[in-house]
Structure 1
Amino acid sequence: MPVTFELCPGRVIGGDHPCFIIAEIGINHQGDLETAKRMIKMAKDCGADCAKFQKSEIACRFNKKALLRPYLNKNSWGDTYGEHKRHLEFSHEQYKELQKYAEEVGIFFTASATDGMAVDFLDEINVPFIKVTSTDASNFSYLEKIAKKGRPMVVSSGMQSLERMRQVYKTLKKYNLNFTILQCTSCYPLDFKNVHLRVILEYQKEFPDIPVGYSGHESGICVSVAAVAMGAKVLERHVTFNKTWKGSDHAASLEPSELAELVRSIRTVEIAMGSGFKQILPCEEPFCKKLGKSVVAKVSIQKGATLTEDMLAVKVAEPIGIPAENIYDLLGKTVLEDVEEDESIMPEIVENYCKKAKC
């Protein structure tokens, strides 16, 4: 089975392809359409591949009592949870407007679908992929509904066990081959000791035929860069204009300068990862010549002498003689000329050297 697939039109993930970076705007737009557009433009300017929101159909996601629950805290946009959520929810027409704006800016646009009606809407407007939040990773009827749409899927795994994610994997595989699972811990902000990046390696072993990624809620960028170095092929981070804004996600989000530095750092690390084949590279050759060590005469050696280890030393020498790694190939061989103390041992003055040893 392939370890790569096309997540967005013309954008393949997995294998040697660059990490796909999702700027999770979510609900950090504060319920304001123009702020949302500014955040889309910011994500593009910082180098992210995708601007992502969170789509809910309120009545489908919550029951009446949940919506009537009092919600009075510093992050609230209303007296009840329903009023709070409605303030932060864009209409279908507003979503279409944001999608059009993202297309004009030149960045992929999608959203997490937090209920079945939201899935249908996102499918209707033809988003490139659908994101499954950690909350719904164990909602198997919902997972099947999305998988059957045939669109690529990105699934976060916060609040789930490895056994549960095995079930998720098997469920999705029945209907859809194009999905990725992201290691995630659902805390906002996330303490470093609860990140557990090694789960990425476990997922790679458990699910070798799909790309694996990381969704982070920690402070700063170093953990996310490390996740990419460990093989994350999709990276999701929340973004904001101001971490002190009202809202529970802002503190765990990256401001524009951090997002830009994250993208730069990831692209640098991807270049630096290079190849697993170890060899002397062309860029090293001048330094080999300048700093490489050669075998020299530790003492004066007369013509016809048989070389022993106590006659030889290793130094940076001029001219460059027999390489240090070949010193043991010289033992027992005869020198054809006198060699002064501290002089380089050259291949041509050692009998049969080039015939039997690496020069």
Structure 2
Amino acid sequence: MAVRKITIGDHTVSDDTDAYVIAEIGHNHEGDLNKAKELVMRAAEAGASAAKLQKRDNKSLFTASMYNEPYTGRNSYGPTYGEHREALEFGRYEYTELAKVADAAGIDFISTAFDFASVDFLDDLDVPAIKMASADLTNTPLLTYAAKTDRPLIISTGGAHMDDVRRAVDTILPINSELAVLQCTAVYPAGPSDLHLSVIETFRREFPEVVVGFSGHDNGPELSMVAYTLGARVVEKHFTLDRGRPGSDHHFSLEPAELGRLVTGLREARKALGRPEKRQMPSEAGALRKMGKKLVAARDLPAGHVLSERDIAIKSPGDGLRPYLIGDLVGRALTEPLGADADFTFDVVA
């Protein structure tokens, strides 16, 4: 039987573990290294497993026309799209500094690679995992290149058909078995009806050897807990210090207190799932005694009396014979007298 497991840094993620929670900083640092450091530290304080950035080699990633096209408005950090992206892009110095901060805070530091040069950059930086964006799910050359780093890969599936997901998994798995596939919808923000969390179960059936997760662009932490109950063990949510800041991602990102609630809620979801077998719990004993029922004498009954249903009452507390045993008493004779409300036992009937 296939083992569904991925190891990222010191975290082993499988069906019987807590969720691996990724705080997706993206470009919510606004090009400010100090703000990025604070985001990493606040993500660690909230209990996230990893803080994540996005790495692009902008000159090779975009066509010249896209790089130079005008880009203005509230969310712009430059007059053209290329200058906007360059203003938000961190290089080796910033990544090295953030990796040190993450290590000191006890949190993994990972990133999305949007191109071949960025895969090389992250591989050389020795990140514990590489994320592949939804837009690259059909980019099998890039998926192959990233898989060959032998680093765990996490892939999102926004905007995809199932055949696209199959193709991506079939591309990666023969090269690299350390893979997580995340259900995702490329809507920002996504409403509940956009999420289609049932796809998590589809992925789990289709890919029994792959860890399944959820990359959520929805507002708030609550529906990620639903995703966990369906089998998502990697949960990614965008993260910001202030949802009101200018930028395309801030408005649907979690703030630190919400990220903390997400981590706590996911841990509680694991506890709440418990074990699949239905059994009586020792902690239920008090309630069962108080509210449960037992079989007692309906009135004073003499020795030798042959019992009928009219002789047997069903009353609380539930510390005696259960009512389903009434048929085992009817038609049997008492070996001793019983007073009203006295417990029936099999020792007093013949």
1:21 aligns with 2:41: no
- CA shift for structure 1 position 208: 0.9
1:3 aligns with 2:4: yes
- CA shift for structure 1 position 310: 2.8
1:331 aligns with 2:324: no
- Letter paired with 1:57: D
- CA shift for structure 1 position 298: 2.7
CA separation in 1, counterparts of 2:26 and 2:226? 24
- CA shift for structure 1 position 291: 3.1
- CA shift for structure 1 position 333: 1.5
- CA shift for structure 1 position 117: 0.3
Cα distance per residue 1:241-292 (max 9 Å; x no partner)? 1111111111110001100111111111112211112222221223333333
- CA shift for structure 1 position 130: 0.3
CA separation in 1, counterparts of 2:305 and 2:142? 85
CA RMSD of aligned residues (A): 1.4
Identity over aligned residues, as a percent? 37
Deviates more, 1:184-193 or 1:277-286: 277-286
- CA shift for structure 1 position 326: 1.7
Question: Which residue of structure 1 lines up, in the alignment, with residue 185 of structure 2?
Answer: 185
CA separation in 2, counterparts of 1:317 and 1:246? 63
1:345 aligns with 2:344: yes
Cα distance per residue 1:301-339 (max 9 Å; x no partner)? 332222222322211049x43222322221222111223
Question: Which residue of structure 2 lines up, in the alignment, with residue 270 of structure 1?
Answer: 270
* Residue pair 1:147, 1:175 contacting (<8 A) in 2 also: yes
CA separation in 2, counterparts of 1:94 and 1:221? 29
Counterparts of residues 48-63 of structure 1 (less than 5 Å): 48-63=48-63
CA separation in 1, counterparts of 2:198 and 2:6? 24
Cα distance per residue 1:157-180 (max 9 Å; x no partner)? 001011111111111112111101
- Letter paired with 1:99: A
1:229 aligns with 2:265: no
TM-score between both structures, scaled by the size of structure 2? 0.96
Cα distance per residue 1:2-39 (max 9 Å; x no partner)? 2113122x211113121100000010001100000000
CA separation in 2, counterparts of 1:100 and 1:321? 64
CA separation in 1, counterparts of 2:161 and 2:320? 61
Question: Which residue of structure 2 lines up, in the alignment, with residue 354 of structure 1?
Answer: none
Stretches of structure 1 that go unaligned for 5 or more consecutive residues are: 352-359
**Other structure's SS at 1:215 match:** strand
Cα distance per residue 1:177-215 (max 9 Å; x no partner)? 110100000111111110111000111111111110000
Question: Which residue of structure 1 lines up, in the alignment, with residue 238 of structure 2?
Answer: 238
* Residue pair 2:290, 2:317 contacting (<8 A) in 1 also: no
Question: Which residue of structure 1 lines up, in the alignment, with residue 96 of structure 2?
Answer: 96
Question: Which residue of structure 1 lines up, in the alignment, with residue 320 of structure 2?
Answer: 321
Counterparts of residues 199-210 of structure 1 (less than 5 Å): 199-210=199-210
Counterparts of residues 104-253 of structure 1 (less than 5 Å): 104-253=104-253
CA separation in 2, counterparts of 1:311 and 1:184? 63
TM-score between both structures, scaled by the size of structure 1? 0.94
- Letter paired with 2:287: F
**Other structure's SS at 1:149 match:** coil
* Residue pair 1:321, 1:347 contacting (<8 A) in 2 also: no
- Letter paired with 2:5: T
CA separation in 1, counterparts of 2:251 and 2:298? 66
* Residue pair 1:134, 1:157 contacting (<8 A) in 2 also: yes
1:291 aligns with 2:275: no
* Residue pair 1:43, 1:51 contacting (<8 A) in 2 also: yes
- Letter paired with 1:152: P
- CA shift for structure 1 position 299: 4.0
- CA shift for structure 1 position 118: 0.2
CA separation in 2, counterparts of 1:321 and 1:348? 13
CA separation in 2, counterparts of 1:222 and 1:330? 51
Stretches of structure 2 that go unaligned for 5 or more consecutive residues are: none
- Letter paired with 2:157: S
Question: Which residue of structure 2 lines up, in the alignment, with residue 356 of structure 1?
Answer: none
CA separation in 1, counterparts of 2:34 and 2:193? 37
Deviates more, 1:111-120 or 1:299-308: 299-308
CA separation in 1, counterparts of 2:296 and 2:49? 57
CA separation in 1, counterparts of 2:160 and 2:289? 55
- Letter paired with 2:279: Q
- Letter paired with 2:31: G
**Other structure's SS at 1:52 match:** strand
- CA shift for structure 1 position 60: 1.6
CA separation in 2, counterparts of 1:212 and 1:41? 27
* Residue pair 1:24, 1:237 contacting (<8 A) in 2 also: yes
- Letter paired with 1:6: T
- Letter paired with 2:321: I
Question: Which residue of structure 2 lines up, in the alignment, with residue 40 of structure 1?
Answer: 40
Pair 1:116–1:322, CA change in 2 (3 A): same
Cα distance per residue 1:103-147 (max 9 Å; x no partner)? 122211010001110000000010001000101111111100011
